[in-house]
Amino acid sequence: MATDNVFITGHSAAKPLAGADRVFLLEKVCDFAGKTLVAADIYPALQVKKDWVVLQTRIEMVTAAVGTALTADIGDGAGATSFDAAIDLKGAAGTEYSSLIGTDAYVAGGAGKRYAADDTIDIKLNTVTAVTGNPKVIARALVLDLS
């Protein structure tokens, strides 16, 4: 049987994207020190642009909150819990929370969310009970740029 290389020569099948810069990681340290934390407050963490697809979000604990309870959702202007719901901001340093395929709305089918306009990925506080020490986290998003 002959090998027909028509599909692997003369085009970029092995590199389907125009450039390596189309897939990248957004990252920002979010330090809540000195802030008065109130349930339902929204903190924009990452700026996203039109025609970006956010494939996954992650929150890594740097410093845990001190207190009885501090939980948050990860979402955007269209869905406060759409990337991740009810993460524990009292988690130990190094603990990571991420959006899960099949569970969280924007990544349920594994395709992420394509933005039709500029927006932000937000940390929305849920339960804030007797917090005496505020957390510090690293917010991350895996992005595909289709612009």
DSSP 104: S
Please say whether the beta carbons of 48 and 115 come within 8 A: yes
Q: What pLDDT shows up at residue 2?
A: 30
Contact of 111 with 105, CB cutoff 8 Å: no
Structural contact between residues 66 and 132, judged by C-beta atoms closer than 8 angstroms: yes
Tell me which residue of 69, 86, 89 sits closest to 129, measured CA to CA: 69
Please state the rounded mean pLDDT for residues 24-31: 91
Largest CA distance in the chain: 73
Residue indicated by tokens 């996203």: 48
pLDDT in tens, 47-92: 999 999 999 999 999 999 999 999 999 999 998 889 999 899 999 9
3-class SS at 128? strand
Rounded (5°) CA angle 35-49-41: 25
CA distance 80 to 74: 6
C-alpha span between 56 and 101 (Å, rounded): 9
Q: d(Cα 125, Cα 38) in Å, to the nearest integer? A: 7
State the pLDDT at residue 14: 42
pTM beyond 0.85 = no
Region 30-39: what's the mean pLDDT? 90
DSSP string, 87-99: EETTPPTT-EEE-
More confident residue, 5 or 103: 103
136 three-state secondary structure: strand
